[in-house]
Structure 1
Amino acid sequence: MQIWVTINNFAKIEYAKACVNKFTLLVGPNNCGKTFLMQLIEGINDYWNILIDESVMNTLLIDDLPEYKGYELSKYNLDEFLNKLNNNIYKQKENIISEIFKREIPIQNLSVDIQLEENEEYLMYHIDKIQALDQLPKNVGNLPNFISAVMLGHENTAIECMIKKTYDKPNGEFAEAIIGPRLKYCESNMVNLLQKGSLFMPASRSGLMMLYREYFANKTDDNILVQTNTQRTENVGTTNLTTPVYRFLRFLQTYTEDERIKKKFEKELEFYDNNIIEGHINAKTQQGLAYNANSGEAVPMYLASAMVNEVAPIYLATTSTSFYDRFIIDEIEASLHPEKQMELVRFLNRLYNKGKSFVISTHSDTFVSRINNLSILAEYVGKTKDTEAVSKFGIEMEDMVSQKDLFVYEFIKKNNGKSEVKERKFNEKLGYQFDLFTNTALKLYDEAVKLGDIVNHE
């Protein structure tokens, strides 16, 4: 499944349509709207439980029986589902923008699109009592047996369950089950399908890493409440901070390390320690976060280098008890030497291949070129099965992401001051080409040629 967000005439952006649940890269000049788009993607994530209501779910209804209600999301009813969902989004778009940015910003249109993979579909069932399991259709496989085990001791509690069917698993596989006394219409199933455990990481993370404790120490009288992913309310504060930036600061304040998650990403985190920060982040000191360099003593994070502080949030989000499966990172390359940028691409690709997704902005041609090279190599290996070619570059298979999972966009500034966001298509020989970087490189080349002529004729 691919989830897309489309906007028209919002802030600096005249038009943009971007995939938000794969590996998305945003490139463009300063002050063109990249950060606005990224925070909007993060913020709308909180609204699925409001946008998906009974009217939306009724477009998917296939069984309406006393024993259970059945719903199906497939290519046959996807358009009707999206029409109803986007109608709700249109009604709420001003409220969504206001809650995210803490001020009114005009927006002409905001909508989402969903593209299912070939033969991908979802079946969802709402069951009030365990006795109804025998009435479920035969095409749900062994789901009744699974639900029976889950509902043991909850015989009089409603359950909503979902299975995913694909071409290689036509009988479906269990996706999730939700138990609770007030469940209805499988809205929770659909919300969980679309909603990401997401964290926005703003630019200038080094400064925010140093200041977040002082910020909260001086904000005890805040009184603005916003909705969180778990449908609770959270104090955001009477500040000019956007909700995504506030949540990032709150994340730093409340971070707790999860040993089970660390074990799952053990190999990736070892790569991070050895190839990027050349040390280790210690989250268990009484003074807060600390950085242990391989060649020295531990120091508080505020005394560590800007590079360490810039990339530390990626480590923290990966190992947090608050599970995140999508990272939205503004100016990913900040404070990183080109060699470290190249290694960071490998690290992010490894995380993506372990289930994380990304929306990333960058001003670095080094970062983009590394993604280019690895995507071209991935395409070559995918076609030829020549895995030995990978070792020639001193990398491993998990360092690459296929171009089918990469969505690359360039922000183009127009004469009216607005930006148009254009998707860059992959070329199997050249990768992704960017006008901004190409034009800058040509200017530098021409400048060097002119300079050479002047010096040589001195």
Structure 2
Amino acid sequence: MNQEWTLHVERIGKITKADIQIAPLIFFIGDNNSGKSYMMTILWGLLFLGKNLFPARPSDSRTYKRCEDWLREHANKESVLDDEVVALYLNWFNELLSQRKKDFLRHLFNYTMESGKMEIRAYRQKKPLKLHFREGKRYTFNPGRDISFPQSEVYTREELLRMNTYICWNLLMGDIAAPLYTPVMRGRRNGEPVYLPASRTGFMLTYKQLLEQSIQANFGQSEADARGALTLPYVDFLQLITKFEPHRTNALATQLMPFLETYMTDGSFKIKRTLLPDFQYTPKNVATDMPLYITSSVITELAPLSLLLQSGINFKTIIIEEPEAHLHPALQKRMAQFIVRLVNNKKSVWVTTHSDTILQHVNNMLKLAKRPGTERKQLMEKFDYDSVDLLQDRQVRMYQFSKELKELKDSVEQSGTVVQELKPQKYGFEVPSFNDALERILDEVYAFQGEDD
């Protein structure tokens, strides 16, 4: 990721305050019903809906005019988008986000809610982008390198708006979201973020019925119909399922499918294309294909990952809720390994989890990467790891969600959620909520075992 930024929110839904710095690998941990999925939905929404914030016509706001004036002054020149220039575009995007925040959240959650502050802060480029003007008709963006526009003697305000929108979007989202002007290719996705919800098994077994209900709800005339609709990430996941179809093998599938089928699914998945795709599972060393509804929950939980890879659907960021669901601890460790390999194949992976096994594997890979060269190589050979399994501190961010409680006269109720970033320590990330729960369990173990035990 060439760009880094922090999403700051206040008083939105359950979240009292949060500052989430994006990274290739993000973990949200903490209490149940504390807003982890809610916050992930907002992040996904910025990547998925953020393009809709830009206006269709040039604005006369001071914030936008500064961007327009800068671009007009630097048209047909080679320019560097340094921190001062970036601040112009960041201010413009935050102004648009502030103005359209309520509509953004309503579209995302299919629900009207009161909202406080939401803005992007602390933007940083690892390598400043450069702006070029060349002969031709195409806009081009090379992540971490440059943006190119076609040369022209005179640019209209409409053309400058289109160019400014292109600059702003690629500065913020170029490495993690779809291109701004996405070409339509047989309806296939091209870089949009993927959201795998916690209820994957239910979706995989009932997606045909859910699609029908979702369509009816979204196009229904009554208020009762509208209440039956799903949030946008869930609707998008249903639509994603319909786009699963066999596709030519790509580099990501070549890297990860053998691992997934050998160590996790113990078999393969097939897609039979009819009006809607039918999914079947073939166990290893068995010639018979099985419909998903007679397989175990482990298979239905892992099916979306396998089908996503073999479909060749292009994505830059994937959000996975509770990847440990229905998995034995040994498989949770493999899931963590799979996630790390996704990250090292240049995909951003953002996760909500309650699994100490997954987090311990992350800590192990952080520690292994820091061992001296010869010792690290020996440990990797002993425990069957490759360089694609290792992690560096800079790749990972971890956030704990904690409920704020307030005492009433006769009871205690939740007043909101605060989000705290956890920093890696000597032995990796320490998770207070996990440690506290384990300590209470150990206290009971010691208290309940008798002296004669």
**Bucket of the pairwise TM-score, normalised by the shorter protein:** 0.7 to 0.9
Matched residues in 1 for 2:4 and 2:65: separation? 19
Q: Distance in 2 between matches of 1:75 and 1:302?
A: 54
Pick aligned residue for 2:316 from 281, 302, 325: 325
CA distance in 1, matches of 2:72, 2:168: 17
**By how many angstroms is 1:318 displaced?**
3.0
User: What one-letter code is carried by the residue in structure 1 that aligns with 2:419?
Assistant: V
* Residue 331 (structure 1) shift: 1.1
The residue number in structure 2 matching 1:37 is 39
The amino acid that maps onto 2:443 is D
Give SS of 2:315's match: coil
Aligned with 2:85 (options 65, 71, 77) = 77
* Other-structure match for 1:159: 138
Partner of 2:411: none
Q: Are positions 1:277 and 2:265 aligned together?
A: yes
Secondary structure of 1:363's aligned partner: coil
Match of 2:129 in 1: 122
SS at match of 2:450: helix
1:204 partnered with 2:199: yes
User: For residue 283 of structure 2, what is the aligned residue in structure 1?
Assistant: 293
TM-score by length of 1: 0.80
Cα distance between partner residues in 1 of 2:392 and 2:114: 37
Corresponding residue to 2:232 among 220, 223, 243: 243
**How far 1:190 sits from its partner (Å)?**
3.6
Aligned residue-pair number: 406
* Residue deviations 1:132-177 (CA, integer Å, cap 9, x gap): xxxxxxxxxxxxxxxxxxx4xxxxxx33234566xxxxxxx45677
- State the match for 1:146 in structure 2: none
Q: RMSD of aligned C-alpha atoms? A: 3.0
Equivalent residue for 2:186? none
Residue type of the alignment partner of 1:434 = V
Which has the higher mean CA deviation after the structures are superposed, 58-67 or 103-112? 58-67
Q: Amino acid of the residue matched to residue 304 of structure 1?
A: T
Which one of the candidate residues 158, 177, 191 is aligned to 2:169?
Answer: 191
Paired residue type of 2:138: I
1:390 — aligned with what? 380
Tell me the alpha carbon deviations over residues 294-319 of structure 1, each in whole angstroms, 9 at most, x when there is no partner. Answer: 14322012222111111222223333
Q: CA deviation at 1:237?
A: 7.6
Within 1, Cα distance between the matches of 2:194 and 2:8? 20
Q: Does the C-alpha gap of structure 1 residues 67 and 443 become closer, same or farther in structure 2, counting only changes over 3 Å?
A: closer
Alpha-carbon shift at residue 240 of structure 1 (Å): 2.7
1:214 aligns with 2:209: yes
Contact 2:342 2:349 in 1 (8 A): no
Q: CA deviation at 1:205?
A: 0.6
Residue from 421, 424, 437 that aligns with 1:423: 421
**Matched residue, 1:10:** 12
Question: How much has 1:77 moved relative to structure 2?
Answer: 2.7
In structure 2, do the counterparts of structure 1 residues 57 and 74 end up closer, same or farther at CA, with 3 Å as the change threshold? farther
Determine if contact 1:125/1:186 at 8 Å carries over to the other structure.
no
- 1:185–1:95 distance in 2 versus 1, CA, 3 Å: same
Task: State the Cα deviation string for residues 187-246 of structure 1 (Å, max 9, x = none).
Answer: 235424534120111111101111111122445545559xxxxxxxxxx98733001111
Structure 1 position 446 matched with structure 2 position 431: no
Counterparts of 2:18 and 2:215, CA distance in 1: 38
Unpaired stretches in structure 2, ≥5 consecutive residues:
178-191, 407-413
Q: Work out whether residues 163 and 174 of structure 1, in 8 Å CA contact, stay in contact via their aligned partners in 2.
A: yes
- Alpha carbons of 1:65 and 1:59: their partners in 2 closer, same or farther (altered >3 Å)? closer
- SS of residue in 2 equivalent to 1:215: helix
Query: Offset at 1:258?
Result: 2.5
CA contact (8 A) 2:68 2:164 kept: no
CA contact (8 A) 1:200 1:244 kept: yes
The residue type equivalent to 1:293 in the other structure is P
1:359-381 CA-partner distances (Å, limit 9, x unpaired) = 10011111111111111212335
Q: Secondary structure at the match of 1:68?
A: coil
Distance 1:376 1:56 in 2: 46
Report 1:41-440 matches (<5 A): 41-52=43-54, 56=64, 58-59=66-67, 64=72, 68=76, 72-113=80-121, 115-118=123-126, 120-125=127-132, 130=135, 151=136, 158-162=137-141, 173=145, 184-195=162-173, 196=177, 197-218=192-213, 221=216, 223=218, 239-261=228-250, 263-284=251-272, 288-296=278-286, 297-380=288-371, 386-416=376-406, 417=414, 418-427=416-425, 429-440=426-437
Question: CA contact under 8 A between 2:366 and 2:390: conserved in structure 1?
Answer: yes
Kept in 1, the 8 Å contact 2:132–2:146? The answer is no
TM-score (normalizing by structure 2): 0.81
Distance 2:166 2:368 in 1: 40
Segment drifting more, 447-456 vs 104-113: 447-456
Q: What whole-Å deviation, never above 9, does each CA across 1:372-428 have from its counterpart, x for those lacking one?
A: 11112123358x88433322322111112211110011111111421111111011x
Question: For structure 1, which runs of at least 5 residues remain unmatched after alignment?
Answer: 131-150, 152-157, 166-172, 226-235
Instruction: In structure 2, give the amino acid aligned to 1:203.
Output: A
